[in-house]
Chains A and B, each alone.
Chain A
Amino acid sequence: MTRVLQAVGRATRALHSVSAYLAVPLMIALVIYDVFLRYVVGDPSVWANEVSAVLLILVVFATLPHVTIQREHLGNDMVYLMLGSRGKRVTAGAGYLCGAIFGGVLAFRSFTAMLDAHRYNEGTQNVDFPYWPFYGVMTVSAALVVVICILQIAFAISGSLIDAESEPKDEG
C-alpha cells in the first residue's frame, strides 16, 4: 500500500508541476506573443491562440489528481462539520466513490478519444499540433483520480484519510 501511495504521490506532483510551471507560463507567453505580433509586427500568428487553448487542458487536467488528493475540491461542509467521526468517514467515502465513478468514466472515454485522435491524426487546424497527447493527459489524470479515490475509500473505511500527498493521516 505504501509503495502505491508513494508512486501516486510522485505522479500527482509531477503532473501538477507540468500544469503550474510549464503550461501556465507557456499559455501566457503564447497569448502575449500573438498580441505582440498583431500590434507591433502587424502580422498576427495563426496558430498561437489555437495552441494556447489546447494548453489549457494541461492546466486544468494535470492538476486534477493534486486537488483531489489534497481535498481541495469546492464543497459545502455545513453538515459535514456536525457529523461524528464515523459520519465524516461515510461522507468522505461517498464523495470519493462519486469521484472514482467520475474519474473512471472520464478516463475510459478519454482513452478511446486518444486512440481515435491518434488514428485519424486530429490536431489544431493551422499548425501540426496533435491532440492525442492531451487526451493522454486527460486519461492519465482521470485514472489517477480513480486510484486516489479508491485509496481514500480504503482509508476512510479503516479510519484514516490521505491528507497530503503520500501521507495517510488520522481523520477522526
Chain B
Amino acid sequence: MDPFFIGVAAIVVMIALIIWGIPIAFSLAIVGIAGNAVLLGPAQAATQLQLIAWETGTNFLLIAIPLFIFMGQLTYHTGLATDLYEVVYKWLGRMPGGVAVTATVSSAGFGAVTGSSVTTIATMGSMVMPEMKRYGYDPRLASGSVASAGALAILIPPSIPMVVYGVWTETSIAQLFIAGIIPGIIMAVLFATYIIARCALTPSMGPRGPSFTWAEKWSSLVKLLPVILIFFAVLGGIYGGIVTPTEASAVGCAAVALVALAMRRLTLENVMKALDQVANISGVLFFVVIGGIFISRFLVLTGLTPGAVDLIIGLDLGTYGVIAMLVLLYLILGTFLETFGLLVLTLPFVMPVFVDLGIDKVWVGIFLVLMIEMALITPPVGLNVFVMHKVAPDIGLLTIFRGSIPFVLITLGAVALFTLLPGLVLWLPAQMN
C-alpha cells in the first residue's frame, strides 16, 4: 500500500477518533502503532513507541514542565494571587470597568508566576466575579474579560506550551520566554483599553469601583514584593543567562516556597495538594506529547508531512498569505482541539512551512501561543470558557463565549500587529546574554 495513502488514512482516523471522544493521547498512540506496524512491522512499531516514551520521559529540558506546574500550584494554594489582586484593585479599580480591568492586569501578573490559564481563571474568577456581581457588571463583559485574560498566562512567561514548543522544534526556551514579555504586556494593555473604552461609552456595563487614598495605594505596593521577587528569580536568571529555563523552574519553586514560608503560608497540606496536582497534570500532558511525537515521526515516514508542506508552499501565497491561512486553520482546529492537541497535531506540518519561509522560530512560537489563546476562548471547545462557567455557574456558556468575541478580535489584531512589526516580539530576546 502506498505510504502516502496510509498517512492520509491515519490523519482521517486520528481526527475522527479525537472528535468521537477517544482521549487524545490514546488516539495518537493507537494510530501511530497501527500505522508504524503497517509500514515497518509490529516489532518496530513497539520499539518506536517505547523509545519515544523513554526519550521524552528522560529529557532534562522537559523537567521544566512539572516544576513550573508546581510553582504555579504552590502560588495558587498559598494565596499570593489575592495580594496581587488587592494591590491592582486599589490602583485601577476606580477606572470605568475597574474590576474587569483589575482582573485583566492581575491575570497578566499572576501569569508571570503560574503559566497556567486554568489556574489563573479559577483563582481570579472566584475573586472578581462576586465583586462584579455586586457592582452590577454586564455578565458578558464580566465573564468574557476574565476568561480571555486568563489566556494571557500562557503568553507571559513562564509558559508550559512554550517549553513543549521549544523542545519539539529545538528553539531556545529562554528566548521564547523573554519574547513573550512584550506581546504579553501589549495584549494586557489592549484588553484593558477595550474594557475601559466600552465601559466609558456604556457606564452601566461596568461601573467604577471605590476610590482609595494615595497613602493606601502606596502602602499596598508592599504586597507586590513577593510576586516581583518570584518573577525576577525566574526571568531575571534566564534573561541574564545565569540559569537555564529548567534550572529557573527549580529556582522558582524554591522562591515561592521561601516567600510562602516567610509569609507563614507554607503548610504541609498546601505542598501535598500542589504535588498531587503536579503529578496529575504532568501525567496527562506528557502522554499527549509522547503521542504527538510518535505520530509526527510516522507521518514523516509516510511522506505526508513533506507533501503537505510542498502543497502549502506551492500555493505561493507569500509570507502574509500563509500566516493568514494558518490563522484561519487554527481558528477552525481550535473549535475542537485544546492547547496541547492543537500544538502537537499541527507542528509537524506548520513548522517546516515557517522554516521554508525563513520566519524566525521564536516568532513562530509566540504566534502559536496566540493561536492557542484564541482556541481557549472560542466555541464549542473553549477550555477557559468551561473553567469560567465552573467558577460562575449562573452565567451561561453562550454568554461567556459571546463575551469573549471582542477579545478574540483583539487577539487577531495583535497577531496582525506582530506580523507587521516582528521586532515587537524579537527585540527583547535579541538583547539577552
**Mask: chain B, 66-80; 1 = CB below 8 Å from A; 0 = not:** 110010000000000
Dominant secondary structure at the A interface: helix
The chain B residue sitting closest to A32, CB to CB, is B250
**Mask: chain B, 43-56; 1 = CB below 8 Å from A; 0 = not:** 00111011001101
The chain A residue sitting closest to B379, CB to CB, is A78
- Which listed residue (A70, A91, A106) contacts B22, Cβ 8 A? A91
Count of A-B contacts with CB under 8 A? Answer: 181
B202 to chain A, nearest CB (A): 34
> Interface size of B by Cβ–Cβ distance < 8 Å?
60
> Are A74's CB and B17's CB within 8 A?
no
The answer to whether B60 has its CB under 8 Å from any CB of chain A is yes
> Are B67's CB and A73's CB within 8 A?
no
The answer to whether B86 has its CB under 8 Å from any CB of chain A is no
A23 to chain B, nearest CB (A): 8
> Are A74's CB and B340's CB within 8 A?
yes
Q: B285 to chain A: which residues have CB within 8 Å?
A: 74
> Are A76's CB and B284's CB within 8 A?
no
Contacts A28-B70, A102-B26 given: A91-B20 contact, CB under 8 Å?
A: yes
CA distance A62 to B20 in the complex (A): 28
A17 to chain B, nearest CB (A): 9
Q: A70 to chain B: which residues have CB within 8 Å?
A: 280
Stretch at the interface among B27-35, B179-187, B359-367: B27-35
Dominant secondary structure at the B interface: helix
> Are B337's CB and A67's CB within 8 A?
no
B381 to chain A, nearest CB (A): 6
Q: B57 to chain A: which residues have CB within 8 Å?
A: 56-57, 60-61, 138
Q: B27 to chain A: which residues have CB within 8 Å?
A: 98
| Chain A interface size range | 35 or more
> Are A59's CB and B340's CB within 8 A?
no
The chain A residue sitting closest to B288, CB to CB, is A74
Stretch at the interface among A1-9, A108-116, A160-168: A108-116
The answer to whether A45 has its CB under 8 Å from any CB of chain B is no
> Are B283's CB and A67's CB within 8 A?
yes
CA distance A80 to B285 in the complex (A): 21
Stretch at the interface among B124-132, B270-278, B295-303, B414-422: B270-278
> Are B23's CB and A63's CB within 8 A?
no
Contacts A19-B283, A35-B250, A64-B283 given: A73-B23 contact, CB under 8 Å?
A: yes
CA distance A27 to B68 in the complex (A): 12
The answer to whether B392 has its CB under 8 Å from any CB of chain A is no
Q: B22 to chain A: which residues have CB within 8 Å?
A: 75, 91, 94-95, 98
Contacts A74-B338, A95-B21 given: A67-B26 contact, CB under 8 Å?
A: no
The chain A residue sitting closest to B338, CB to CB, is A74
> Are A95's CB and B26's CB within 8 A?
yes
- Please report which residues of chain B, range 1-51, place their CB below 8 angstroms from some CB of chain A when the two chains form the complex: 17-27, 29-30, 33, 45-47, 49-50
The answer to whether B254 has its CB under 8 Å from any CB of chain A is yes
The answer to whether A40 has its CB under 8 Å from any CB of chain B is no
A153 to chain B, nearest CB (A): 13
- Which listed residue (A52, A102, A110) contacts B33, Cβ 8 A? A102
B256 to chain A, nearest CB (A): 11
CA distance A133 to B283 in the complex (A): 19
Q: B286 to chain A: which residues have CB within 8 Å?
A: 60
CA distance A105 to B23 in the complex (A): 17
The chain B residue sitting closest to A70, CB to CB, is B280
> Are B23's CB and A99's CB within 8 A?
yes
17 pairs from A and B in contact (CB 8 Å cutoff): A16-B279, A19-B282, A24-B67, A27-B250, A28-B254, A31-B63, A32-B251, A49-B60, A54-B58, A56-B66, A74-B24, A75-B22, A78-B21, A91-B20, A99-B26, A101-B33, A138-B54
